[in-house]
Amino acid sequence: MADKQPGNTPAGMGPAPGPGPGVRLVIWFVAALFFSIFWLDASKRQYQADLSYTAFKDRVRAEQVVSVVLQGERVSGTFRTPEPGSQATANRMVKEFVTTLPPIDDPELMPLLEQYGVEVRVRSEGGSWWARLLIGLVPWLLIIGLFWYASTKMQERMMGSSGGGGGIFGFAKSRAKRFDRGQPGVTFDDVAGLQNAKRDLREISDYLRDPQPYRKLGAKIPRGVLLMGPPGTGKTLLARAVAGEANVPFFSISASEFIEMFVGVGASRVRDMFQSAKKEAPSIIFIDEVDSIGRARGTGLGGGHDEREQTLNQILNEMDGFEPHEAVVVLAATNRPDVLDAALMRPGRFDRKVTLDLPDRKARQAILRIHAQNVPLAADVDLVRMAALTVGFSGADLANLVNEAALLAGRKGAGEVDMALMLEARDKVVLGGRREMLLSDDEKRLVAFHEAGHAVVASLLPHADPLDKVTIIPRGQALGVTEQIPDKELHNFRQSYLYDRIGVMLGGRSSERLVFGEVSSGAEGDLKQATRLARHMVTHWGMSEKIGPVAFQRGEEHVFLGREMAQQRDFSEHTAEVIDEEISTLLKHREVEIAQLLKNNRTLLDAVARALLEKETLEADDIGALIDACPKAAGQGSSAGRGH
């Protein structure tokens, strides 16, 4: 990735600063002071005689002791006349001594000292003078060291993320990563699919590279381009490709990096980033996840004067303040354009909105080919089929699929990735990893008939998506999975297709009731999906004759997404009751129809369940063979033929 290349440093970034001359001088002074203290104490101890307690009392009786100092168990004193030192210091005279009192108090000591006129001094047990000095000095040294360490670390952090000086006040600098000309190393050739988006953005890169043809026509460069699309569709990659094609400096930052614990830091960082970009114009500023600071102002819990809104106001001001000669383009990416502030979306700020959709089959094939360039593929790998089996995958999902296949190959010790590994990786991404779960025979039979109900209904309903695979091997959060793959990509759903889709969701529950006389909790996920789809049909798409062609928005907005805390419901309580009745009626009516369909095809249902208990996994061809073997199911004409 471009942001990990050598040399990708923030704007103006230099080497990490070290301690200043004043700090180094203080460190050397403290070190010299401690060395001197310990050296003097060691020298003093070198010329002190270490006496035993008995020898000490003998010296007192011999009138050789002038004075003593009692300090806890330690006794130090001075001889009346200096004596020769040890062999190592024979040329020096020893005048002081030291000894230690016995653990049991000696009642004869004080009378003995008074008898021979020895001067007695008593000190507290606070330690020696250098120890007291150390105790008094260490806390201050720790405080000074803590402040110096915090200052140095903050300075290094700010220098490393925003560049330039500023020391401890460098947090106001921009944290945008700066890429020199050509550094992102990504062009439009590295972006598969997204032809419409690349066509819109190619004008930007052409203008930045050579603005004269556009200026002759009186055209002005757009000040901002908003990239909108689901996660993983390549918004960041496309922004880097624009910078790579234009061959201009590229400033990249996530919108959340503007916000800091200090008030006003976000606005200051915005000013610094735009100032750096203007100095190197033509240039590109890329703000990722702009919705984190660009949400509608005056909504939510933050009020109207929080740090996020100040940062947004500064961005609006900077984008409005561009001079005509400043060729600076702001690219922003978001997957929540509905929560952005209206002032940010108007022409003059983000003049152009580019929508990035999930890749179609042709684009998925191209994306798979790009991500498989460095992966050794076997001859049987069919990327055309893989593209057909990955409907709804984003570019990031496809990259993850190829990586999972390579990991599976490495785990199995294979030298290349074959088609079986690609299909296994796809199942792992879509269905989840296999779970080591032991089911009893009764539970396994229940799961088999549940999934068989889904599979039979999907095979018999004329408008349902084609069946691809059904398994009773626990995967992800499910005990069994029935998978359907659309034979074509739909962007508009007919009412008949939605009815059949609900029918497939209710097939498992209906099968349980038909075979076992009761239902289980295994249909919870199916019921949630069916209820959500039925609610959309009734309240959003006008597919209820009783409600009519009316759309009701209900339960769609949340305060933390930048909307109002309380929304006024745009329909009455009576209408709400009618909506609930229509949803319930739709689901109950559909369940009755599916139950009758399974009852009429009980032979096929039992055959599919037995095959699942025997093989655990059935492919579409296996289901088709079972349908052909059952006279009643085969006699249903074209409705059965679409399932395989």
* First-to-last C-alpha distance (Å) of the chain: 42
Which pairing describes strands 93-100 and 74-84: parallel, antiparallel, or unpaired?
A: antiparallel
Side chain identity at 20, as an amino acid letter?
A: G
Residue of 527 and 392 predicted with greater confidence: 527
pLDDT given at position 20: 52
Alpha helices in 324-382 (DSSP H): 342-345, 361-371
Q: Has residue 520 got a pLDDT over 70? A: yes
pLDDT given at position 396: 87
Mean pLDDT of 470-474: 86
Residue of 313 and 533 predicted with greater confidence: 533
Q: Has residue 55 got a pLDDT over 70? A: yes
Q: Cα separation of 633 and 619, whole Å?
A: 18
Q: Which residues are part of the catalytic machinery?
A: 451
Across 165-179, 275-289, 303-317, 487-501, the highest mean pLDDT is recorded for 487-501
Residue of 29 and 9 predicted with greater confidence: 29
Q: Has residue 537 got a pLDDT over 60? A: yes
Q: Has residue 358 got a pLDDT over 70? A: yes
Token pair 């509608």 is at which residue? 296
Q: What is the DSSP letter of 23?
A: H
Side chain identity at 586, as an amino acid letter?
A: L
Task: Please give the structure tokens belonging to residue 319.
Answer: 């984008």
Task: Please give the structure tokens belonging to residue 588.
Answer: 């109950």
pLDDT given at position 312: 79
pLDDT category at 207 given cuts 50, 70, 90 is: confident
Across 2-6, 69-73, 156-160, 265-269, the highest mean pLDDT is recorded for 69-73
pLDDT given at position 510: 93
Is 231 among the annotated ligand-binding positions? yes
Which pairing describes strands 177-179 and 224-228: parallel, antiparallel, or unpaired?
A: unpaired
CB count in 10 Å sphere of residue 358? 18
Q: Has residue 389 got a pLDDT over 50? A: yes
- The greatest distance separating any two alpha carbons of the chain, rounded to the nearest whole angstrom, comes to 131
pLDDT given at position 544: 87
pLDDT given at position 533: 93
Is 526 among the annotated ligand-binding positions? yes
Residue 504, C-beta contacts closer than 8 angstroms, at least 6 positions apart: 454, 457, 458, 461, 464, 465, 482, 484
Task: Please give the structure tokens belonging to residue 343.
Answer: 């002032």
Chain centre to alpha carbon of residue 63: 83
Mean pLDDT of 281-299: 77
Beta bridge pairs of residue 369: none
pLDDT category at 588 given cuts 50, 70, 90 is: very high
Beta-strand runs (E) in 390-515 = 467-471, 481-484
pLDDT given at position 506: 94
Beta bridge pairs of residue 395: none
pTM: 0.63
Q: Has residue 280 got a pLDDT over 70? A: yes
Name all contacts of 550-558 with Cβ < 8 Å and 24+ positions apart: 552/579
pLDDT given at position 79: 85
Q: Has residue 35 got a pLDDT over 80? A: no
Is 244 among the annotated ligand-binding positions? no
Token pair 């556009």 is at which residue? 214
pLDDT given at position 228: 87
pLDDT category at 241 given cuts 50, 70, 90 is: confident
Name all contacts of 29-37 with Cβ < 8 Å and 24+ positions apart: 30/141, 34/134, 37/130, 37/133, 37/134
Q: What is the pLDDT of residues 436-454, one digit of tens each?
A: 677 788 888 999 999 999 9
Is 392 among the annotated ligand-binding positions? no
Q: Which sign does the torsion angle of CA 42, 44, 47, 52 carry?
A: negative
Alpha helices in 461-615 (DSSP H): 495-516, 524-539, 573-600, 602-615
Q: Cα separation of 489 and 391, whole Å?
A: 7
Is 580 among the annotated ligand-binding positions? no
pLDDT given at position 530: 93
Residue of 177 and 386 predicted with greater confidence: 386
Residue of 176 and 205 predicted with greater confidence: 205
Is 230 among the annotated ligand-binding positions? yes
pLDDT category at 298 given cuts 50, 70, 90 is: low
Mean pLDDT of 33-38: 60
Q: How many CA atoms lie within 13 A of 523 on its CB side?
A: 24
Is 235 among the annotated ligand-binding positions? yes
* 485 contacts 499 by C-beta, under 8 angstroms: no
Domains of the chain listed by start with CATH number: 51-125 (3.30.720.210), 180-355 (3.40.50.300), 361-430 (1.10.8.60), 441-641 (1.20.58.760)
Token pair 């002038």 is at which residue? 66
Mean pLDDT of the chain: 76
Segment (H or E) for 129: helix 129-162
Token pair 């003049």 is at which residue? 351
Is 234 among the annotated ligand-binding positions? yes
Is 324 among the annotated ligand-binding positions? no
pLDDT category at 508 given cuts 50, 70, 90 is: very high
Q: What is the DSSP letter of 391?
A: T
pLDDT given at position 130: 59
pLDDT given at position 315: 79
pLDDT given at position 477: 74
Q: Has residue 249 got a pLDDT over 90? A: no
Q: What is the pLDDT of residues 415-436, one digit of tens each?
A: 888 898 998 888 888 877 777 6
Across 37-51, 157-171, 452-466, the highest mean pLDDT is recorded for 452-466
CB count in 10 Å sphere of residue 537? 21
- The answer to which of 23-32, 105-114, 223-232 has the lowest mean pLDDT is 23-32
pLDDT category at 551 given cuts 50, 70, 90 is: confident
Closest to 540 (Cα-Cα) out of 566, 500, 532: 532
Give the CA distances from residue 560 to residues 225, 256, 292, 311, 344, in Å, rounded to whole numbers and listed in that order: 25, 15, 11, 18, 19
Closest to 240 (Cα-Cα) out of 268, 205, 276: 205
Residue of 291 and 119 predicted with greater confidence: 119
* 296 contacts 562 by C-beta, under 8 angstroms: yes
Q: What is the pLDDT of residues 80-97, one digit of tens each?
A: 877 655 444 444 456 788
